[in-house]
Structure 1
Amino acid sequence: MTALDLKVTEIAEAAELIRAVTLEAPDGSPLPAYDPGAHVDVHLPDGTTRSYSLIDWDGGAAAPAAYRFGIRLEAESTGGSRYMHGLSEGDTVAVEGPSNDFPLAGGDAPSVLIAGGIGITPIVSMATALKARGAPYALHYAVRSEAAAAFADRLAEAHGDALSMHHDDRAGGPLDVAGIVKAADPSAHVYVCGPKAMIKAVKAAAEAEGYPAEQIHFELFDAPADQDGDTAFEVELASSGEVYTIPPGRTIIEVLEEAGEDLIYDCQRGDCGICQTDVLEGEPDHRDVVLSSEERASNKVMQICVSRAKSARLKLDL
């Protein structure tokens, strides 16, 4: 797919550490269409790319005049958010896409939209589409504090009583996702985007209420994080007998791909399931949000983009 060179036409501060960035074609022509939940890949100066969800406020995604984003400046940024926060109006940005790993289901079934922090960005487009469709929906937006609530006034104006805001500091704790799911229509589709802890809580609550997997949708906005106590472990490939050492701070995918192994993967955040691999021997340390409780307990599969090992060696069906 060929990247488009787009011009930064507007920059605004949306909330604490969150910047709203608008990109348009230099000649003003419409940009490629996208569906709710879609993202584009932004090419960084170092040759890497970062994915950012597209925000549709007015239902213009079928022929968008602009691409709009909300980007949170991460303290441990590896380049993406720092680059986006360093842009100025008039700059040129290379963008590839759109693509969609977090689509909105069709039909008129009720929808429960749950967003945490910067996870509100794809949820905005979903709420816009559901309102236009006339489908029932509820939008729950959780943030640490009022200062961290991006687009809160605009969301309130657009969605009225359908929007419920939650501030952790005022409520004395996190959003009661289990209560939200329990109170929802059993036929509802549940969508959640935000930190891993929130996604895991929503997924567990929905599964406990008997929701089938096809009614639970999620996208992770946390990058995989190293954990204190991470140690090196070995991975043996069943097909060749090759053994690789996975040191702290590196993933199975990074080490194997660097060694020339051919792998299939996508998100590298542990939320898409593309890299799921059978475990033949050993005990994984599961760090994804894809697997069910039963799948985790079985230790028969793992997501090799983020998960590590509790045993000294894993033998994988690769």
Structure 2
Amino acid sequence: MTMDLIITGLHNETDRIRVFDLSTADGSPLPDYEAGAHLTFDLGDKGTRSYSLIDWAQDAAGAAYRIAVQREDGGTGGSRAMHALTVGTKIAATPPKNDFGVEDHTGPAVLLGGGIGITPLISMATTLQRTGRPFALHYAGRSRDVMGFLEPLSQDFSDQLTCHPDDETPLDLTALMATLTLDTHLYICGPKGMIDAARNAASAASLPDAQVHLELFSTPQAEDGDTAFEVEVASTGEVYVIPPGKSIIDVLEENGLDLMYDCQRGDCGICQTDVVSGTPDHRDVVLSDAEKASGDVMQICVSRAKSARLVLDL
């Protein structure tokens, strides 16, 4: 199911980040959403791309959807295609989906964003502020000139915001995790390296895994040295070759299998599949180190194989 949207406003937040305002093409009301939700856009031959919805404290509820797209010049072209769009362009998108919502908990929340991963956390901070729940917002980036939304973040969340530009006051994850109480819920969105490091620091600080919530801001790219491998579907015995540059989901769907998945980034867990035999090459941020080491399950949207063949419980 998709809906037709129209771009009603555009502005550049930084040299690489463009902000889009979107309304329904027919003027009908926009579906409601909760903090952490995203839209998935159909970009034709560039595939689909998902972007978090941004809700600011000063925004009029339901007036428009707002997303931010960071141009990745070395990527597969989806972000460049989005940046080429103009005001008045119609574009198809799914209704809002949410794999990264604010949990119902009584303890404080700590929101940690890296780069463009700040976008879903803006909505979370807005929701927490509106409901009077305690939170802290930490924003890391290479330098202030590439960190978007610094001015409105400082205006709306001045008492909760701490910025960590790498060239000024780099993020110290060990020190940050040492400040967390055991009833804190930690929400992390950013590049995989930051997520992995933050998750390890949280574990070392004895924060329960169930209180650490994750979302990648981009789809993992192919790695140097990726090679083809085989996937055998246990229920039928059919074998498919997964080439470099395509995911297990890509190939199985091309061959008519009906699969459950959402994010295609390795952070929502919906595509998790049991491994009957073979050795996965885990590239998600969902599984714990122990789950990855066991090799019993994998996220088939991003992970690949270290063995020549995987037999999957599909």
Q: Give the structure-2-normalised TM-score.
A: 0.92
Partners of 2:41 and 2:246 in 1: CA distance: 23
Contact 1:28–1:65 (Cα < 8 Å) also in 2: no
Contact 1:139–1:163 (Cα < 8 Å) also in 2: yes
Cα deviation for residue 59 of structure 1 reads 6.3
Cα deviation for residue 77 of structure 1 reads 4.0
Matches for 1:96-111 after TM superposition, within 5 Å: 96-111=94-109
Show CA shifts across 1:240-270 (max 9, x none). Answer: 2222222222211212222223322221111
Cα deviation for residue 78 of structure 1 reads 3.4
**Residues 286 and 105 of structure 1: CA distance in aligned 2, closer, same or farther (over 3 Å):** same
Partner of 1:68: 66
Partner of 1:14: 13
Partner of 1:294: 290
Contact 2:280–2:307 (Cα < 8 Å) also in 1: yes
RMSD (CA atoms):
2.1
Show CA shifts across 1:200-236 (max 9, x none). Answer: 1222222233333331111111212111111222222
**Residues 229 and 94 of structure 1: CA distance in aligned 2, closer, same or farther (over 3 Å):** closer
Cα deviation for residue 26 of structure 1 reads 5.9
**Residues 247 and 88 of structure 1: CA distance in aligned 2, closer, same or farther (over 3 Å):** closer
Percent identity over the alignment is 55
Matches for 1:78-93 after TM superposition, within 5 Å: 78-93=76-91
Pairing 1:283–2:279 present: yes
For 1:34, the aligned partner's letter is: Y
Pairing 1:139–2:102 present: no
Pairing 1:310–2:309 present: no
Partner of 1:218: 214
Partners of 2:109 and 2:159 in 1: CA distance: 15
Cα deviation for residue 188 of structure 1 reads 0.9
Structure 1 gap ranges (5+): none
Contact 1:59–1:128 (Cα < 8 Å) also in 2: no
> How many residue pairs align between the two structures?
314
Partner of 2:241: 245
Partners of 1:175 and 1:59 in 2: CA distance: 29
Partner of 2:146: 148
Cα deviation for residue 293 of structure 1 reads 0.9
For 1:203, the aligned partner's letter is: R
Contact 2:57–2:156 (Cα < 8 Å) also in 1: no
Cα deviation for residue 24 of structure 1 reads 2.9
For 1:35, the aligned partner's letter is: E
Cα deviation for residue 2 of structure 1 reads 4.4
Cα deviation for residue 60 of structure 1 reads 5.2
For 2:18, the aligned partner's letter is: R
**Residues 242 and 58 of structure 1: CA distance in aligned 2, closer, same or farther (over 3 Å):** same
Contact 1:113–1:137 (Cα < 8 Å) also in 2: yes
Show CA shifts across 1:119-155 (max 9, x none). Answer: 1111001111111111111100011111111000110
Partner of 1:49: 48
Tell me the SS of whatever aligns to 2:218. Answer: coil
For 1:266, the aligned partner's letter is: D
Partners of 2:22 and 2:168 in 1: CA distance: 35
Cα deviation for residue 65 of structure 1 reads 0.4
Partner of 2:261: 265
For 2:72, the aligned partner's letter is: E
Tell me the SS of whatever aligns to 2:5. Answer: strand
Contact 2:4–2:25 (Cα < 8 Å) also in 1: no
Partners of 1:277 and 1:87 in 2: CA distance: 37
Tell me the SS of whatever aligns to 2:158. Answer: helix
Tell me the SS of whatever aligns to 1:170. Answer: coil
For 2:213, the aligned partner's letter is: H
Partners of 1:97 and 1:299 in 2: CA distance: 34
Partners of 2:167 and 2:186 in 1: CA distance: 25
Cα deviation for residue 296 of structure 1 reads 1.0
Cα deviation for residue 29 of structure 1 reads 5.9
Contact 2:73–2:80 (Cα < 8 Å) also in 1: no
Cα deviation for residue 157 of structure 1 reads 1.0
For 2:51, the aligned partner's letter is: Y
Structure 2 gap ranges (5+): none
Partners of 2:220 and 2:293 in 1: CA distance: 21
Partners of 2:278 and 2:93 in 1: CA distance: 41
Partners of 2:57 and 2:303 in 1: CA distance: 39
Partner of 2:3: 3
